[in-house]
Amino acid sequence: MPRSRSTAARCRASARGRVRAWAEARYLVPRSQGVPASTFEATIDLFTAALGGALLFDVGPVRIGPSLELEAGGLRGRGRGEEAPRRRVLPWLAVLIGAEAELPVAARYALALGVAAGVPLARPAFQLEGEPAFYETRPVTARVTLAARLRLGSVK
């Protein structure tokens, strides 16, 4: 069973391919966003949990296949520069599809590359009362992941 700090995954061999499922927790580093013609500034970050899976096929020494992931979490904004600073957490929900590739380098070790893109099912936006939104999530989200995997348990 491959495992890292943020990922617990399980593989099962089948006649057609290997099914890999995972659960992950992610935190995207804060970024600051200012409001034009104002002293107001907000720090925005994202924390999520995701469930996903991939169907990996042996293609020579590499395992390659499609992946699907559901991600839920919160987009957090903390405002500064006004008399009463504000905090708010807005829901984040996205579906991502992509591809995974895994290169075994030893019986228990593999290098992995994942590419995924998707659409947020909810597009949170931050705004001041009576003003247009100063931060809105993009209509498409994308991710590239590079990982070192360790298989625990019996090696077949």
d(CA 73, CA 93): 7
pLDDT along the chain (156 residues), means of 10: 40 60 87 73 87 93 95 86 75 95 91 95 76 79 90 69
Overall domain count for the chain: 1
Q: Which residue has the tokens 């591809």?
A: 99
Helix count and strand count (H, E) for the chain:
0, 9
Q: Is residue 42 in some structural domain?
A: yes
pTM for the full predicted model: 0.73
d(CA 47, CA 126): 16
Q: Is residue 33 in some structural domain?
A: yes
CA distances from 1 to 20, 97, 156 (A): 10, 23, 12
d(CA 147, CA 102): 9
Q: Is residue 156 in some structural domain?
A: no
Q: Is residue 85 in some structural domain?
A: yes
**Which range of residues forms the domain containing residue 71?**
7-150
Q: Is residue 1 in some structural domain?
A: no
Q: Is residue 103 in some structural domain?
A: yes
Q: Are 77 and 40 in contact (CB under 8 A)?
A: no
d(CA 104, CA 129): 54
Q: For residue 1, what are its two tokens?
A: 């069973």
The pLDDT, as a whole number, for residue 15 is: 42
